[in-house]
Amino acid sequence: MTENMLKTLGERIKKARERLNISQTELAERCGFRAHQTISVIEKGEREVKAWELAALAKALSVDMHDLLMAKELKENPAVLWRQRPEKKAEMIEADFINHCKQYAMLEKLIGETTTHKLPERKPDGSAFTYDTAKDLATSIGKELDLGSCPAASLVGTLENRFGVKIWYDDLKDEGSAAATIGEFGLAILINTGEAPWRRNFSLAHELFHLITWDIFPPASFREQDSIQDTRIESFANTFASNILLPADDVINTCDKYTKNGKMAYVDFVSVAREFRVSTEALMYRLKGLRYMNQKNIDTIKSDPEFIEEDKRSMKGNWPASSDLSERYVRLAFKAYKKGKISRAKLAEYLNTSLFDLTDKLLEYDLDDRKGYEAEVSIARR
């Protein structure tokens, strides 16, 4: 590289690092460099950058290597709308999320599996938006998506396979909750695997609200100085999530099966919540909205040790294990590999595993790279 090229590359690396709000030492650690001084001299354009170093830098900065080398300037990432933004390393988490979404979209294009369906569009007046609007929106969207009597069980598959929503998973532990974004790669949702399964289901429905109302309540409408507005929109999203996951008729009919003389046993109440794959608290407040419970009932039940114990006892073994990757994403990457579009090493990289562990990782998703997938089925109108 010429001196000017090295200087330009260094400036881009520095800008990308500062955008992620990480130090030279942190970047050096992410790249596997022994000392932060390596980053310092690279950013100043004072040394050549080896190919493996450039690849490590691009990965650590969650940018495309081509952008570091050739772009006129680094593109700004699309806005990410958080349910609860992490206090630490939010910029890094966002960059990783967006980078994975770009990889996801690239895999779709490589094997020709881009979706043409768009999420249902609704254009209610944001200034006149109410809780009733959120409820009506959930009812109409739920019917249009045809989620069935247990929406939580089909929502992920419907959003990914029918509408191409890119769902990514990250273990944020207690540092953050779900997020949504829209970019050149399409629509995307980030789910925190550190949360309980019922919270992940609720978060997914919550973020769906934001995707559907993106033009009505864009990220710019969430301002730090206007926390009242933030709380108002988030409350609408919660109302939408509750109504779409717990359809009124299905909830009432299911509860009626277990209710005698206006009473339901704790074990049955918990069973209903498990059937809809939501928390017992979410079910309580949905029934409150349907006028089948009041706040006094809810407070009494939530504080009853017998109910708390029943709720806890039923949790273990009643929820499907969480995956760290979406099944559609894994399938796309596997197909790209089998079609010769990406290497085995790249497949391992995309699945966040080593070459040594790749086969075991694929088997978790009922895929086996040791078998041939060349055989075809003849399907033709007779």
Residue count of the chain, please give it.
382
244 within 8 A of 236, measured Cβ to Cβ: no
Domain ranges within the chain, ordered by starting residue:
3-76, 82-245, 248-315, 332-382
- Mean of all residue pLDDT scores within the chain: 88
In this predicted model, what pLDDT tens digit does every residue of 47-82 receive, in sequence order? 888 888 898 998 899 888 888 887 667 778 899 999
d(CA 93, CA 184): 18
d(CA 99, CA 104): 9
Tell me the mean pLDDT in the region 154-162. Answer: 94
**CB of 145 closer than 8 Å to CB of 167:** no
Name the CATH superfamily for 3-76. Answer: lambda repressor-like DNA-binding domains (1.10.260.40)
Strand spans (E) along 128-220: 166-170, 179-183, 186-192
Residues 51/58, Cβ–Cβ less than 8 Å? no
pTM over 0.75: yes
High-pLDDT (> 90) share of the chain, %: 60
Q: Which amino acid is at 342?
A: I
Separation between Cα atoms, residue 293 and residue 334, nearest integer Å: 49
CA distance 320 to 335: 25
Lateral strand order in the sheet of 186-192: 80-82, 179-183, 186-192, 166-170
Query: Residue 291 to residues 48, 127, 197, 264, 280: CA-CA distances in angstroms?
Result: 69, 27, 27, 15, 16
Closest CA to 186 of 147, 218, 159: 159
| Dihedral angle, C-alpha 236, 239, 241, 242, nearest 10 ° | 170
Q: Is the pLDDT of residue 238 over 80?
A: yes
pLDDT at 9 over 60: yes
Distance, CA of 288 to CA of 282 (rounded, Å): 10
Residue that has been written with the tokens 């699309």 in this structure: 78
Long-range pairs, 255-260, Cβ under 8 A, ≥24: 255/287, 255/292
**Phi, psi torsion values for 264, nearest 5 degrees:** -135, 130
Question: What is the distance between the alpha carbons of residues 343 and 338, in angstroms, rounded to a whole number?
Answer: 9
DSSP string, 65-89: HHHHHT-SSPPPPPPEEESS--SSS
Sorting pLDDT into bands at 50, 70 and 90, what band is 225? Answer: very low
Query: What is the third-level CATH fold of 82-245?
Result: Arc Repressor Mutant, subunit A (1.10.10)
